[in-house]
Amino acid sequence: MKLHEIKDFLDEKVEKYNAPEFIEGDPISIPHLFSRKEDIEIAGFLMAAIAWGRRDLILKSGKHLMQLLEYEPYNFITNASSIEMERFERFYYRTFSTVDCRYFLNAIKEIYEHHGGLENVFLENYQKGDIKPALVFFRSQFLSFDAPERTHKHVANILNGASAKRLNMYLRWMVRKDAKGVDFGIWEGISPCDLLLPLDVHTGNVSRKLGLLNRKQNDIKAVDELMVHLRKFDINDPVKYDFALFSLGVDEKF
């Protein structure tokens, strides 16, 4: 297919999958349980952190985590006693252990109490036209509260070549805003045009089959290569094509 044909094909798939029906079976359904900004962004961040593997198991663990947080993520994290925090000794998801969970919750508390919240940390080093410095700074800040060495792997490092799939997915959730209501669009300080595709095995394979990606590794260089095409398709909202690429791979076995 020629590029304009690929664009038309993907636009049709975006229209199909960027819809409320997409929410139920996706990790984004967990932050959709909430209406308070802080609850949405905390639940979203925690869900993005464990968003790998089978979606049904991700959702099961996400619901368990929200239950432990008493369905008030912000209030619980910022006010819980050390005794109340002990309940998370029962939580883990694959390699995201109880140690990682406890650190994530404590780091989130520090960020809201001393840095103005998750959004502010991403914004602090965000440069219009380039989201990468924000990704680098966020990782550094988030791990700065004496993070265990094992926890570092749960926050992607693009300086080491990682695609940062989960961080970029989280930013898509928080930043993108349209009439469809899937993404939240509650962070207005970051432009949707600067977002990066949450590249994973599904979006990578579909992109290669369509001729949009030549690089074999799913790393940050592959993200850069793919974004050149997606920004030509829609300069203002290139990451909307995540809906098409992901669903073509997962749902349509393209």
The model's pLDDT over 88-124, given as tens digits with 9 standing for 90+, comes to 998 999 999 999 999 999 999 999 999 999 999 999 9
Q: In this predicted structure, what is the pLDDT of residue 90?
A: 85
Q: What tens digit of pLDDT does each residue of 120-165 get?
A: 999 999 989 999 999 999 999 999 999 999 999 999 999 999 999 9
Distance CA 131, CA 193 (A): 10
CB atoms within 10 A of CB 244: 25
Rg (alpha carbons) of the chain, rounded to whole number: 18
Phi, psi torsion values for 81, nearest 5 degrees: -80, 165
End-to-end CA distance of the chain: 15
Phi, psi of 127 (to 5 degrees): -120, 125
In the chain, domain spans: 3-250
Confidence of residue 78 (pLDDT cuts 50, 70, 90): very high
* Pair 181, 19: CB distance under 8 Å: no
Q: Return d(Cα 176, Cα 185) in angstroms, integer.
A: 5
**Cα gap 148→110, rounded to integer Å:** 16
How many C-beta neighbours within 10 Å does residue 239 have? 24
pLDDT digits (tens, 9 = 90+) for 188-240: 999 999 999 999 999 999 999 999 999 999 999 999 999 999 999 999 999 99
